[in-house]
Amino acid sequence: MVKYLKQYELFFKKAGVDFKAAQNLYEDFQKGDSELDLEVIFFHLQQTAEKLLKALLSFMQINFPKIHDLEELLNLIRQKNINLQTDDEKLTDLGDYAVEGRYSILHDDFEDANDYFILISRLKDDIESIIFKSISKKQ
């Protein structure tokens, strides 16, 4: 039997896949894989953030346009007085990797990658907490 996921569950699951891809690629990059560059890793981190924000918006039943703009997604969340414990500015900086990172060379700093992994991990935990706290209240 096929289990049908709700939209927010699908976004959350896909975010986890992108995060795992970023982690695996980063490990390979650190081991010296010359076929990789940081733009690919940052792209997956941006995709993780985007899907996490869309998971939250979907869960809260907030309509959002089909966009990749992290700042706009965060603004929709903030307008509904949903408090995320994240560095909005640093998170929105990842937005450059939604499109530009695929087609041009952005100058990445290796040290920034660790900061972004921490930032995205905290965002994931925060959103997961909001969703599951709301679910448990409804039950």
For domain 7-138, give the CATH superfamily: Nucleotidyltransferases  domain 2 (1.20.120.330)
* pLDDT tens by residue, 57-91: 999 999 999 999 999 999 999 999 998 988 889 99
Report which of 105, 103, 112 is spatially closest to residue 45, judged by C-alpha positions: 112
C-alpha to C-alpha distance for 29 and 10, rounded to whole angstroms? 28
How many H-runs (helices) and E-runs (strands) does the chain carry? 6, 0
Report which of 37, 54, 45 is spatially closest to residue 21, judged by C-alpha positions: 45
Predicted confidence (pLDDT) at residue 104 exceeds the cutoff of 60: no
Mean of all residue pLDDT scores within the chain: 86
pTM comes to 0.88
Domain boundaries defined on the chain: 7-138
Give the model's pLDDT for residue 1: 47
Give the model's pLDDT for residue 18: 97
